[in-house]
Chain A
Amino acid sequence: MTRGGETRVAAFRARLLAAMALVVVALTLFGLYLVERSVTSETQHDLRVAFTSELGLLRTVRDIRHASLAERCRVLVRKPRIHAALEDNALDLLYPSAMDELGDALPPGDDTGAQPSMRARFYRFVDIDGRVIPPLSAAEVGALSPDEERRLGFKGVPQEQQNGYLVRDEREIIEIFATPIISTETGEAIAALVAGFPVALNDHASSGLRNGLWVDGRLYFPSLDEAARAALAAEIAPAVARSQDELAKGRAVRVNGAEQMLFCERLNPRSLFSPAYEVGIFPLADLLARQTKLRWKALVAGTLLLCLGVAASFYISARLAVPVRELATVSAENRVLRERAEAALKIKTDELERTARFSANASHQLTTPVAVLRAGLDELLARENFTVDTREEVSLLVHQTSRLSGIISDLLLLSRLDSGRLELTLSPVDLTHIIETCVDDLQLLYDAAAPEVQIDLPRALHVAGDTRYTLLIVQNLLDNARKYGHAGEPIRVSARMENDSVTLIVANRGEPIPRPSWEQIFERFHRGGVGENIPGHGLGLNLARELARLHGGDLCLTRSDSEWTEFAVQFRAASVDSRIAAV
């Protein structure tokens, strides 16, 4: 390979390496980006799952407790004695009956009965106007401060159970259920039972989930110090003021310098009591640490992958360069061969052109001397002083001169054909007329020796052709048939039209042409296996075929057996329009 080839292969290899390295880097970066995204979303998802399950557990416990307390209150207010006390005008019996009926659910008493959290801290009845019905002994139904008692009242009696929260002395959360007492006689709420149950805030030491309560615009969060509580309250207050659900899905906040997930959920939606929110915080430190660790892992893996990718692309580009190098070598050799072939072709073309030019020039140059020769011979024949023998020899010379001029004109025509300088003017030609003309010429030329010509033609037969050369084709074929047909046997001329083509068949009865020679007879100066006694110079069929092809048709030997030898020439039928034009 040349030095230039080497350089090109090296350049190709460098470019390939660069492209592959670029692709590898891009893919790695994209992969890293995807990993980063997936790490982030996965850890967030993990976090969500973790705290949702924690929270779900807490909430399930809370909901079960809530539902059981609510149901407990509903059962209590259906007690017939309580209804009797309210409906039968026996308010003095209300609290004593309640004490009997509500049994272990309500204070006072030891804590041996229900669980402490299921035992009410206090209860009161509220009359139809929403005022608290004073108990006989506050100690027996749980003491309340005047402010607390005021907050238990309503404007009228609620028609559905209401749920509220109360923080007592900054140390105890009370969940309040206000359950309407529906009269069995009127079907309307005639009073309500308001009972308060203590709520325990459960911090989860294992997960770090911590709980608080937001009620009456204040945050109750025993496990946080004052500063952290204030910071959290500052987060919650505006969110709660804007929308009840804003913090339901959680928000990252900073409490005591640590990232925490804060979430709030309304505990008593649609309640007449002031809204209360459960506040929870879930530490994010673990999550962030895990995220950072995962990121580092991904980065290291990505770097390794990148190195590996670059090495692989180096190797692959080297491997790919080998066949390219071979290809380059081969193509250099090919180029040399091609250049040689082109040179040879040019020489051949030049030779051919020279030959054609020579043959044209020669034919042209020969025409004049032959004409002169012919004129001279004619003049000799006109003399009176020749003997019969001399005259006969001169006649023979005249005949040979005619033959010579025939060969010359054929050669001239062939050389024009070869050099592509022969141009046809195609127009509708009446083939029938041409055939008849040729047959007439045959009869005139050979008189008694002329063979019988059987003509079987359609009535009108127009082909696209040049009259002069079409005539030449037909003439050559008829002449050929006459020459090679046995004496006294007829020549048959027939034609048929198929779609756009006209096939003219000229047949004679003569010696059959052996199959292998069917193509050879169309070669120039080929005389077949016929005897030299038949006049001709081996150009007629070649010329006829060349002309037929120039007309867009062809000339073939289609049959040659003991009966007939048939030549078929195809023409293109003249289009109807052009036929009309010809008429």
Chain B
Amino acid sequence: MKLPVLFFIAALFAAAHGVADTVIEGRIDLPKSRTAPVVSKRYEIVSKGGVLAPYPPFAVVWLEGDFPKATAPSVQQMAQKDLAFVTPLLPVQVGTKVEFPNLDDTYHNIFSFSPVKRFDLGRYTKDVRPIPSQVFDKPGMVTLRCDIHEHMRGIILVLDSPYFVKTDADGHYRLAGLPSGHCTLKAWLSSKSTLEHPVELKAGATLRVDLP
């Protein structure tokens, strides 16, 4: 009852000031969590039947369209802590430089044989400077492994878009500050499952998209 009224007021306010924001929000139907949420709230990449997915489940939602390339490459970090990647699933825009700091007291050797980006950082400790890094310049999924710790898995989603966000544990997302026009909304659930939905964005409008 109250929510539409608030939206209405907000829309009036935006129209009056000429800085209306374009938003997509909604909910992605996530796979059921197999167990109760972990106490530590620590996320990890698990594989089941050859499918890699974050656990507890969440999705990465982004808008795909003809957007201008980023001018200055941004820098992100994907650390190794307690023999695991934190965060295990990192969405980045094409051209982003990702640093891989080693926060453990042991060696790590991060490498990827994924066709999108093949690299091998070699062995290094926490003291190594500069922090080993890679620039991801092609869109796609990159599986990260450690040559020393065979269980370690990390995923970097290289997206050809500046508009992306991770859903919360319930699948709710909100993308704001979007351009208007015809685009495709995509949601990455696992290495084998990406949902997409065409959207027509109108300036200042808020679109609600629930997938699937």
**A interface residues (Cβ-Cβ under 8 A, vs B):** 78-81, 83-85, 87-90, 93, 97, 183-186
Contact = CB atoms under 8 A, between A and B. Distances in A.
Given A78-B150, A90-B118, A184-B150, A84 B50 contact: no
B47 A90 contact: no
Interface string B42-73: 00000101111000000000000000000000
A80 B150 contact: yes
Nearest to B120: A81
A93 B113 contact: yes
Interface in B76-125: 111-115, 118
Contact of B50 (A80, A85, A97, A186): A186
Contact of A81 (B52, B113, B151): B113
B147 interface: yes
B47 A185 contact: yes
Nearest to B47: A185
- Chain B interface residue number, banded: 10 to 19
Contact of A186 (B49, B146, B148): B49
Contacts of A81: 111, 113, 147
Contacts of B50: 87, 183, 185-186
Residue of A80, A85, A97 with most partner-chain B CB within 10 A: A80
A300 B111 CA distance: 84
Contacts of A186: 47, 49-50
Closest 7 CB pairs of A and B: A90-B113, A185-B47, A84-B113, A88-B113, A186-B50, A80-B150, A185-B50
A98 B198 CA distance: 45
Contacts of A80: 111, 145-148, 150
Contacts, number: 49
Interface string B2-44: 0000000000000000000000000000000000000000000
Contact of B151 (A90, A93, A184): A184
Nearest to A97: B113
A98 to B, nearest CB: 13
B167 interface: no
A91 to B, nearest CB: 10
Interface of B: 47, 49-52, 111-115, 118, 143, 145-148, 150-151
Nearest to A83: B150
A84 B49 contact: no
B32 to A, nearest CB: 20
B151 A84 contact: no
Contacts of B111: 80-81, 84
Residue of A78, A88, A89, A184 with most partner-chain B CB within 10 A: A88
Residue of A85, A87, A183 with most partner-chain B CB within 10 A: A87
B120 to A, nearest CB: 8
B92 to A, nearest CB: 19
A84 B145 contact: yes
B123 to A, nearest CB: 13
Contacts of B148: 80
Contacts of B51: 185
Nearest to A84: B113
A185 B113 contact: no
A84 B143 contact: yes
A482 B100 CA distance: 154
Contacts of B52: 185
Nearest to A90: B113
Contact of B112 (A88, A97, A184, A185): A88
Contacts of A88: 112-115, 143
Nearest to A78: B150
A210 to B, nearest CB: 45
B159 to A, nearest CB: 19
Residue of B52, B113, B150 with most partner-chain A CB within 10 A: B113
A80 B113 CA distance: 10
16 contacts: A79-B150, A80-B146, A80-B147, A80-B148, A81-B111, A84-B112, A84-B145, A85-B113, A87-B143, A88-B114, A88-B115, A89-B114, A90-B113, A90-B114, A185-B51, A186-B47
A93 B111 CA distance: 12
A74 to B, nearest CB: 13
